[in-house]
């Protein structure tokens, strides 16, 4: 399908939803339905093109594909340059999936729908833009665009008790992370001395080892803050709980991936020597993420906080995979980014569905939901099994390689991390039992209705992706291997 | 020394045009007698807009690094760029002021503003201590009057007086510095001063003299520790004048400061760089920390503008042609952003009857378009893409990193996190809080001009945030020429 390769498909994928976002903002103030349908069209378009990108991606050809470039500021070597490799192609696809799901489950937003559906498209474009950026400047440009939609969506439509606190905390933490990374990357680009922000050209420069050791933590840890790295994970649960459902899905599903993705692309790839030097520290922090995050999830009483902390725990696996710096670990991390993105989107979608109907997230008060919304219960169980790393589901095929990789790099960390899996099983089973089975006050249960068909489509769709990936990992693993192979080459034949 | 020929007249044609505009306005006020309408203000705005475009299109072709008029002026690209920016800023300010009857209905207002613009334009072109001093006073005196223009408002007269006292004081200190520079170099002209000190023999003396001179420049750009006037003056002065002070006057101050660093950096090297870096760090930190605690929108913008002076000083400290271009770019975006911010505050204050940020609560429900413009302006101030503030900040920080000032970049980015907090706080009030119920919404009249000005600013904020070219190439030329 060479004609697709000739189209500037990534540019179209970013530009069209952006135009939709602007168009929605220009609608008259009172409009209710037009914003929804326009957002669905824009999000659907992004989803469609991201699907094409993922499936047309040629895993046998190394390097970046669908590259499209345009001189932005030649005097300083800044260009607009998009393209995907095996690591970013699944991430672009994931963005399409989560964005479309988020739009559909938010269908019934009644307060200022014009702003809501416009901002959600801005957020989606921002994330997709980061995943397809091949220029450092452009990457930050897309990354920071997300500041206003994520903040405004939390404070405008979030959970009233926590929205202002959670929104500010999340936005400032993420901004802090990206700003530290910016300082690091500007230093790296300057030291490279080729007057170019082009990532592919920067990869060709062999940076001084001292420079790498000094600036790697800025870039990697800065970006990893976006991924919820210990001890900077605190924004994630508060922010996710404060956010409205769709925003939690997008934040935990893709925005956290943006952080770790950029940590890999600009941290490990540009500074492989720095990565080797700092890997032990990251392994320790990531292991704490896994175990401590899972433990915090175990002691929560709030349904949404459990999922919030579980994200912190699961993102630890991604970072652990990166820090192992070997083929298995990187492959598993790539798989985990995709798997966790879909899984956590499904989790948060169902949390939202339950909360909308029961108006409580307290585990003690919830119960018996499987009778009223059987499909949601089933979807939650599927996501739960993924979360526990059960064979046959995507979590297993992702976490298994991470454990293999970690075992080669740091056996102790692998052993400790397994404790996280055990705790995960405990909190997931406890949550499923408390929310979907057991008793719910009968007089209130009557008010609880089943989820509408729109939501059912999303639950089924996301569940199918998780199961398909678990049964046929070959759908995605070779694509990711195309991407990790170049990282391994940079790390020097490990 | 050259005589007066047609070429040297053509080179200063932008300055002559502004002078001519002042006379036209005087004559208009005397003979046409349209007092009570905003006609003179509109005339001045149109004139300044024409001068801005004309300067960029025609005067830029005559730009050269040779000093003219006996070495008093240098109409290089830096001067052209700044005269164009200053004229644009003056035109936008006049347009915003057209909706404020207490300003626009007085014939003196446009005359004073254009006079101030002439002084600021002259500052950008000054290449000699004498012409620089005259330019700064020419700019300063009308601005004192403008700050105190609302004679029936106590805070405004206080602002005028305060601005004047601080101005006189810093001017005196600066003048003493100038006298030292003259006394030990034997010349008033910048190049002669630079070569007199280039041997490196009188470093300590140059340090002292420069420090004294920088007091005057630091006052103009409102950098810490010369900033004390700014919050009170911005709060008390009419909002449109505050916007002018925070953007146009500051821009001219940076033009002078950049020219000055070209003279002293080669002789002082690291010492000067460290000194400017310290000013930058102090301005960023103090500006941002104090801005967090402000309840009045104009005071908040005052402290934010102090912090912005800090970011800009990062570029000045880098001391390269590239960093000069980056500072120019930053100032371009900042000009439109902050002019819009002050105009929006003025507009919101007219709607809600108060300049307290708390009173802006729920603005997005009552006036979504105004709220959206607030969002754009404040995000641009915070340095968020796709707005001009992001592009400018990135270019400045990159140029500092190129010059090896990585620690300053780290301080700068951490400060922009602090800054995001208080900008988001305002946005939160506008978007997420309900409107106070008791508030009477007053209808706005005669704001067609303001709307037009705001649309222009919004377009510029977006344009300079997304497209660098062709503006950056012009600025790159200006930066190169500045350092030649």
What average pLDDT score do residues A185-199 get? 91
pLDDT surpassing 50 at residue A356: yes
CA distance A219 to A342: 26
Residue A37 neighbours by CB distance under 10 Å: 11
Q: What pLDDT sits at residue A281?
A: 94
CA distance A414 to A97: 31
pLDDT in tens, A73-120: 988 999 999 999 999 999 999 999 999 999 999 998 888 889 999 999
Nearest to A451 by CA among A321, A350, A334: A350
Tell me the torsion sign for CA atoms A36, A42, A45, A47: negative
How many residues make up chain B in this entry? Answer: 484
Q: Please enumerate in sequence order all residues whose Cβ is within 8 A of that of A142, keeping only pairs 6 or more positions apart, or say none.
A: A125, A126, A127, A129, A130, A133, B385
pLDDT band at A186 (very low <50, low <70, confident <90, very high): very high
Q: What pLDDT sits at residue A32?
A: 83
CA–CA min distance B367, chain A (Å): 10
CA–CA min distance A156, chain B (Å): 5
| Any A CB within 8 A of B480 CB | no
Cβ atoms of residues B17 and B85 within 8 Å: no
CA distance B124 to B254: 9
pLDDT in tens, B401-453: 999 999 999 999 999 999 999 999 999 999 988 877 665 566 666 677 889 99
pLDDT surpassing 50 at residue A484: yes
First to last CA, chain B: 21
| Any A CB within 8 A of B472 CB | yes
CA distance A12 to A165: 37
What average pLDDT score do residues A229-244 get? 90
pLDDT in tens, B325-340: 999 999 999 999 999 9
Q: What pLDDT sits at residue A339?
A: 94
pLDDT surpassing 50 at residue B104: yes
Cβ atoms of residues A169 and A111 within 8 Å: no
Coil, strand or helix at A135: strand
Q: With 0-12 CB in 10 A as exposed, 13-18 as middle and 19+ as buried, what is B198?
A: exposed
Long-range contacts of A23-29 (CB under 8 A, 24+ apart): A24/A114, A24/A117, A24/A118, A24/A121, A25/A114, A25/A115, A25/A118, A25/B372, A27/A114, A29/A114, A29/B368
pLDDT surpassing 90 at residue B144: yes
Residue B138 neighbours by CB distance under 10 Å: 19
pLDDT band at B114 (very low <50, low <70, confident <90, very high): very high
Q: Which residues pair with A65 in a beta bridge?
A: A84
Give the pair of three-digit tokens for residue A173: 């933490």
First to last CA, chain A: 34
Give the pair of three-digit tokens for residue A201: 């050209």
* Contact map slice: B 401-460 vs A, CB within 8 A: 401-402, 404, 406, 409-410, 412-414, 416-417, 420-421, 424-425, 427-428, 431-432
pLDDT surpassing 60 at residue A216: yes
Give the pair of three-digit tokens for residue B11: 């080179």
pLDDT band at A494 (very low <50, low <70, confident <90, very high): very low
Which residue is closest to A191 within chain B, CA to CA? B402
CA–CA min distance B246, chain A (Å): 25
Residue B208 neighbours by CB distance under 10 Å: 15
| Cis peptide bond prior to A231, omega within 30° of 0 | yes
CA distance A394 to A475: 11
CA distance A432 to A377: 8
Q: Is B420–A190 a contact, with Cβ atoms under 8 angstroms apart?
A: no
CA distance A428 to A298: 8
CA distance A242 to A157: 9
Cβ atoms of residues B21 and B15 within 8 Å: no
Q: What pLDDT sits at residue A2?
A: 64
What average pLDDT score do residues B144-152 get? 92
CA distance B402 to A78: 15
Tell me the torsion sign for CA atoms A82, A85, A88, A92: positive
What average pLDDT score do residues A261-290 get? 93
Cβ atoms of residues B384 and B390 within 8 Å: yes
Q: Which residues of chain B neighbour A179 with C-beta distances below 8 Å?
A: 413-414, 416-417
pLDDT surpassing 90 at residue B374: yes
Cβ atoms of residues A24 and A121 within 8 Å: yes
Q: Which residues of chain B neighbour A147 with C-beta distances below 8 Å?
A: 379, 382, 384, 420
Q: With 0-12 CB in 10 A as exposed, 13-18 as middle and 19+ as buried, what is B46?
A: middle
Nearest to B125 by CA among B64, B168, B183, B186: B64
- Regarding beta strands A78-84 and A65-73, do their DSSP bridges make them parallel or antiparallel, or are they unpaired? antiparallel
Pinpoint the alpha helices (H) of A251-393: 256-262, 272-298, 303-324, 327-358, 369-372, 374-388
Which carries the bigger pLDDT value, residue B347 or residue B2? B347
CA angle A485, A46, A270 (to 5 degrees): 30
Residue A444 neighbours by CB distance under 10 Å: 13
Q: Is A190–B417 a contact, with Cβ atoms under 8 angstroms apart?
A: no
Q: Which residues of chain A neighbour B421 with C-beta distances below 8 Å?
A: 168, 172
Q: Please enumerate in sequence order all residues whose Cβ is within 8 A of that of B468, keeping only pairs 6 or more positions apart, or say none.
A: A72, A73, A78, B329, B391
Give the pair of three-digit tokens for residue A177: 């992370």
pLDDT band at B472 (very low <50, low <70, confident <90, very high): very high
pLDDT band at B52 (very low <50, low <70, confident <90, very high): very high
What average pLDDT score do residues A345-351 get? 93
Which of B420, B430, B455 to substitute to test the interface with A, most A CBs within 10 Å?
Answer: B420
pLDDT band at B3 (very low <50, low <70, confident <90, very high): low
How many residues make up chain A in this entry? Answer: 494
Cβ atoms of residues A381 and A299 within 8 Å: no
Q: Which residues pair with B74 in a beta bridge?
A: none
pLDDT band at A288 (very low <50, low <70, confident <90, very high): very high
Nearest to A375 by CA among A305, A441, A462: A462
| Any B CB within 8 A of A75 CB | yes
Domain residue extents for chain A: 278-479
What average pLDDT score do residues B362-379 get? 90
Angle of the A303-324 helix axis to the A235-242 helix axis, nearest 10: 140
Q: What is the 3-state secondary structure (H, E, C) of B411-471?
A: HHHHHHHHHHHHHHHHHHHHHHCCCCCCCCCCCCCCCHHHHHHHHHHHHHHHHHHHCCCCH
Instruction: Select from A163, A175, A182 the Cβ nearest to the Cβ of B420.
Output: A175
pLDDT in tens, A296-307: 999 998 989 999
Q: What pLDDT sits at residue A486?
A: 87
| Any B CB within 8 A of A182 CB | yes
Which residue is closest to B367 within chain A, CA to CA? A29
Cβ atoms of residues A124 and A91 within 8 Å: no
Q: Which residues of chain B neighbour A145 with C-beta distances below 8 Å?
A: 384-386
Domain residue extents for chain B: 269-484
pLDDT surpassing 50 at residue B1: no
Coil, strand or helix at A278: helix
Rg (CA), chain A: 21
Pinpoint the alpha helices (H) of A26-146: 33-56, 88-105, 113-131, 136-145
* Contact map slice: A 132-161 vs B, CB within 8 A: 137, 140-142, 144-145, 147-148, 151-152, 155-156
Average pLDDT of the residues of chain B: 90
Average pLDDT of the residues of chain A: 90
CA distance A261 to A333: 10
């Amino acid at each position: 399908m060479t004609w697709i390769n000739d189209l500037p498909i990534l540019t179209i994928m970013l530009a069209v939803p952006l135009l939709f976002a602007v168009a929605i903002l220009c609608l008259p103030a009172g409009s209710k339905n037009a914003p929804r349908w326009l957002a669905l069209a824009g999000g659907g378009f992004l989803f469609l093109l991201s699907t094409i990108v993922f499936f047309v991606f040629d895993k046998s050809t190394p390097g970046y594909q669908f590259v499209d470039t345009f001189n932005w500021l030649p005097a300083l070597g800044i260009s607009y340059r998009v393209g995907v490799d095996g690591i970013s192609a699944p991430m672009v696809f994931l963005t399409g999936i989560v964005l479309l799901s988020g739009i559909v489950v938010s269908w019934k937003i009644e307060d200022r729908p014009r702003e809501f559906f416009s901002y959600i498209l801005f957020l989606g474009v921002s994330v997709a833009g980061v995943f397809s950026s091949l220029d450092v400047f452009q990457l930050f440009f897309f990354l920071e665009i997300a500041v206003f939609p994520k903040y405004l969506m939390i404070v405008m439509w979030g959970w009233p008790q926590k929205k202002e606190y959670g929104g500010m905390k999340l936005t400032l933490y993420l901004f802090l992370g990206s700003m530290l990374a910016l300082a690091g990357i500007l230093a790296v680009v300057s030291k490279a001395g080729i007057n170019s922000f082009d990532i592919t050209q920067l990869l060709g420069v062999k940076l001084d080892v001292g420079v790498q050791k000094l600036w790697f933590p800025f870039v990697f840890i800065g970006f990893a803050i976006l991924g919820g790295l210990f001890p900077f994970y605190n924004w994630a649960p508060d922010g996710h709980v404060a956010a409205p459902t769709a925003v939690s899905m997008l934040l935990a599903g893709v925005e956290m991936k943006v952080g770790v993705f950029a940590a890999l692309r600009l941290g490990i790839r540009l500074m492989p020597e720095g990565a080797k030097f700092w890997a032990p520290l990251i392994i320790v922090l990531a292991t704490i993420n896994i175990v401590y995050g899972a433990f915090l999830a175990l002691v929560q009483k709030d349904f949404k906080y459990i999922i919030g902390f579980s994200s912190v725990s699961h993102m630890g696996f991604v970072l652990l995979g990166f820090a192992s710096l070997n083929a298995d670990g990187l492959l598993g991390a790539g798989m985990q980014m995709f798997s966790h993105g879909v899984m956590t989107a499904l989790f948060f979608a169902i949390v939202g569905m339950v909360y909308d109907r029961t108006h409580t997230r307290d585990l003690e008060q919830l119960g018996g939901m499987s009778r009223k919304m059987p499909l949601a219960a089933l979807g939650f169980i599927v996501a739960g099994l993924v979360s526990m790393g059960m064979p046959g589901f995507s979590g297993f095929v992702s976490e298994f390689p991470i454990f293999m990789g970690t075992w080669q790099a740091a056996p102790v960390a692998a052993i400790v991390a397994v404790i996280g899996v055990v705790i995960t099983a405990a909190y997931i089973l406890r949550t499923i039992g408390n929310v979907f089975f057991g008793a719910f006050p009968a007089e209130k249960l009557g008010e609880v209705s089943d989820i509408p068909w729109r939501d059912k489509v999303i639950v089924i769709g996301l569940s199918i992706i998780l199961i398909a990936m678990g049964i046929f990992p070959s759908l995605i693993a070779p694509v990711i291997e195309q991407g990790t192979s170049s990282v391994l080459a940079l790390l020097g034949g490990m | 020394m050259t005589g007066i020929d047609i070429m040297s007249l053509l080179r200063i044609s932008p300055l002559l045009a502004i002078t001519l505009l002042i006379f036209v306005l005087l004559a208009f006020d005397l003979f046409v007698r349209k007092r009570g309408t905003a006609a003179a203000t509109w005339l001045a705005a149109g004139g300044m807009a024409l001068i801005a475009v004309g300067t960029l299109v025609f005067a830029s072709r005559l730009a050269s690094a040779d000093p003219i008029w006996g070495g008093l002026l240098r109409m290089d690209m830096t001067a052209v760029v700044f005269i164009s920016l200053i004229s644009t800023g003056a035109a936008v300010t006049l347009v915003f002021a057209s909706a404020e009857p207490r300003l626009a209905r007085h014939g003196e207002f446009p005359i004073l503003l254009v006079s101030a613009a002439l002084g600021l334009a002259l500052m950008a072109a000054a290449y000699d201590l004498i012409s620089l001093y005259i330019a700064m006073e020419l700019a300063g005196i009308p601005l004192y009057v403008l700050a105190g223009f609302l004679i029936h408002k106590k805070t405004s007269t206080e602002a005028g007086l305060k601005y004047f006292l601080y101005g006189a004081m810093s001017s005196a200190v600066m003048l003493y510095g100038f006298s030292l520079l003259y006394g030990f170099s034997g010349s008033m002209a910048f190049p002669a001063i630079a070569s007199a000190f280039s041997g490196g023999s009188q470093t300590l003396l140059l340090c002292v003299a420069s420090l004294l001179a920088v007091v005057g420049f630091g006052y103009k750009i409102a950098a810490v520790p010369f900033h004390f006037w700014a919050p009170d003056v911005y709060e008390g002065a009419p909002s449109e004048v505050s916007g002018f002070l925070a953007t146009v006057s500051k821009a001219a101050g940076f033009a002078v400061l950049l020219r000055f660093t070209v003279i002293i950096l080669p002789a002082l090297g690291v010492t000067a760089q460290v000194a400017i870096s310290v000013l930058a760090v102090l301005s960023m930190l103090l500006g941002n920390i104090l801005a967090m605690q402000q309840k009045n929108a104009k005071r908040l913008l005052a402290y934010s503008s102090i912090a912005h002076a800090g970011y800009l000083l990062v570029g000045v400290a880098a001391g390269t042609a590239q960093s000069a271009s980056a500072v120019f770019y930053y100032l371009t975006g900042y000009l439109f952003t902050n002019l819009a911010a002050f105009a929006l505050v003025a507009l919101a204050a007219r709607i809600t009857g108060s300049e307290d940020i708390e009173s802006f609560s729920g603005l997005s429900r009552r006036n979504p378009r105004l709220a959206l413009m607030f969002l754009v302006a404040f995000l641009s101030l915070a340095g968020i893409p796709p707005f001009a503030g992001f592009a400018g900040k990135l270019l400045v920080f990159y140029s500092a990193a190129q010059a090896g000032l990585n620690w300053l970049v780290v301080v700068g980015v951490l400060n922009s996190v602090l800054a995001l907090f208080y900008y988001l706080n305002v946005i939160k009030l506008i978007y997420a809080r309900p409107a106070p119920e008791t508030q009477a919404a007053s209808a706005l009249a005669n704001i067609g001009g303001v709307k037009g000005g705001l649309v222009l600013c919004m377009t510029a904020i977006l344009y300079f945030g997304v497209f660098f070219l062709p503006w950056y190439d012009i600025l790159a030329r200006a930066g190169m020429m500045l350092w030649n």
